[in-house]
Structure 1
Amino acid sequence: MLSALILLLNLGGAAALKICSFNIKSFGESKISKPDVLDIIVESISRCDLMLVLEIKDAKGKAFDQLMTHLNSRSRTRANEFSSVISERLGRKSYKEQYAFIYRQKMLSVKSVYQYPDAQTGDEDAFAREPFVVWFSSPKTEVTDLVIIPIHTAPEAAVKEIDELFDVYQNVSQLWPSDNFIIMGDFNAACGYVPKRQWVNIRLRSETEFVWLTGDKLDTSVKTSTKCAYDRVVLRGEKMIEAVNPESVEVFNFKEEFGLTEREALAVSDHFPLCITVNQAQTKG
């Protein structure tokens, strides 16, 4: 039954650009080894043109390559439809994670990558997992390039890390000549980690040049017992903001889509993917 549902979801080929993020909880060899779980992950990725994958915890470095092989083997349009770029293992002490971007090659290409050094004088090591920033060329959309700053905050430091993303933006904007920024990922920006009284202290929120597409009541958590807007998307740049319809924000509820029990869904992740759509380029006539 699952295979039949998956065949119905080939959304590749749309001219608009669907950009998503997905915290695949503790992604590694265990999830790769479970066919039903892998099918859901692959389908969640393949319905997007660009997927930011968070919480890759694979010390051996094999699971992500296997994911890419499986993803491309399922392509119904062309060989090696998807390519990827992945960070080094990031984290303090022995706990490490990686950020990865998986993208459809006919829609995007990588212009440059930048590992934020997280070494500002007097504020070193502000992030548990410092952002791995990627500058993409996007010739088929209203903005012909875009920079994505990913984040997976440490829950207990969410307020500080979300605020520090302002510094990351400033650093990257001086490095690359682009005005089109997307800051996205698992902010842990809800359910006690960011008290309402703290929002005023977060520059990314108080500076009006940044547009938060995702409201505080959005639910990106899988558990029915929680309603938490953990995952967020923030835009910066006039053309970038104009190129994204706020109504395009989508939480992909794979639990409902595939008729899973909560236990089955949690075997995939405790987060649902969060997506936005960038408008296609207008044809000149």
Structure 2
Amino acid sequence: MSPRLAALLLLLSAHGALGLRICSFNVRSFGESKRENHGAMDVIVKVIKRCDVILLMEIKDSNNMICPMLMEKLNGEKLVSVKKSYCYPDDEDGDVFSREPFVVWFQSPHTAVKDFVIVPLHTTPETSVREIDKLADVYMDLKHRWNAENFIFMGDFNAGCSYVPKKAWKNIRLRTDPRFVWLIGDQEDTTVKKSTTCAYDRIVLRGQEIVNSVVPNSNGVFDFQKAYKLTEERALNVSDHFPVEFKLQTSRVLTNNKKSITRKKKTNSSHR
């Protein structure tokens, strides 16, 4: 696999019944040396196991060994299936993206929203503003090609600190259009180093159905350093980024909520 590509892994774990956890993680230079670092690999596998669908970035694996190795460690069935996939052509109006988004349309019978499109993005820091803004064009292109309504844009946008200063947000359509809903705010810190506080990694939704299907308070940054009691040095051996994540409600939760509402209505009517 090219070091410039990201990989989407489909996973199942026991917590899937409580909601489909979707994650994005820049593992930073995930190649042979990191694969042989047992301490780092142990944490990486733990992080991935928490998620049902995860976007991994910076996989540097020309021999195609890392993904099969991970899948061997991560046993399970699929909670989602691939409906369609597509690599956005970045040559029609200039070469904007440093890594063209490889888009995947998923189907999920277990969630309240039955299908959703994931659009990954890993920008080059110096061109972050232009690349994030260009996602609006990717959205329009996908709407033209596919009959899809629910979209997830996520990845290492480098959307913070000096790369995207406050004055630059007005030039980013993904921010100025209120129909794009940002789940990871500017105040978040997705960096491991204590000396930095930057919201580089982001998740953005488009589509009222998927926005309504987000489990309340499930969106945020997963601090694996704190969760697994690591020193900063050990955490940095894993990555200099924390994963970002959110959960989609299961169809069972939605059904139970509807039943609960129905019962309340009947109870209220009986007292009248």
TM range (shorter): 0.7 to 0.9
Q: How do 1:204-283 and structure 2 match up within 5 A?
A: 204-245=174-215, 247-281=217-251, 282-283=254-255
Instruction: Work out which of the residue numbers 137, 142, 146 in structure 2 matches 1:167.
Output: 137
The aligned counterpart of 1:55 is: 58
User: Superposition pairs for residues 8-157 of structure 1, below 5 Å?
Assistant: 11-72=14-75, 81=76, 105=78, 107-120=79-92, 123-157=93-127
Runs of 4+ in 1 over 3 A off after TM superposition: 10-13
Tell me which structure has the larger Cα radius of gyration. Answer: 2
Aligned to 1:86: none
What is the CA–CA distance in structure 2 between the aligned matches of 1:110 and 1:225, rounded to whole Å? 40
Give the conservation status (yes or no) of the 8 Å contact 1:11–1:47: no
Q: In 2, are the aligned partners of 1:108 and 1:136 still within 8 Å (CA)?
A: yes
Which digits, 9 at most, give the CA deviation of each residue in 1:182-230, with x for residues without a partner?
1001000001000111100101111111111111011110001111100
Count of residue pairs the alignment pairs up: 243
Superposition deviation, residue 150 in structure 1? 0.4
8 Å contact from structure 1 (residues 15, 140) kept in 2: no
SS at match of 1:218: coil
| Unaligned 5+ runs, structure 1 | 1-9, 73-80, 82-103
Instruction: Tell me the residue number matched to 2:166.
Output: 196
Map 1:176-191 onto structure 2 (within 5 A).
176-191=146-161
Q: Which has the higher helix share?
A: 2
TM-score normalized by the length of structure 1: 0.82
**How far did residue 14 of structure 1 move?**
2.4
With normalisation by structure 2, the TM-score equals 0.86
Please, what is the CA RMSD of the aligned residues?
Answer: 1.4
Instruction: Please give the per-residue CA displacement for 1:12-63, whole angstroms capped at 9, x wherever unaligned.
Output: 3424111000000001111111111111111101111111111112222222
Task: Give the percent of matched residue pairs that are identical in Structure 1 and Structure 2.
Answer: 53
Find the counterpart in structure 1 of residue 3 from structure 2: none
Q: Per the alignment, do residues 52 and 237 of structure 1 end up closer, same or farther by CA in structure 2, a change over 3 Å counting? A: same
Give the letter aligned to residue 224 of structure 1: K
Deviation of the 1:246 alpha carbon: 5.2
User: 1:193 is paired with a residue of what secondary structure?
Assistant: coil
Which stretch shows the higher mean deviation, 244-253 or 150-159? 244-253
**Paired residues of 2:185 and 2:199 also in contact (CA < 8 A):** yes
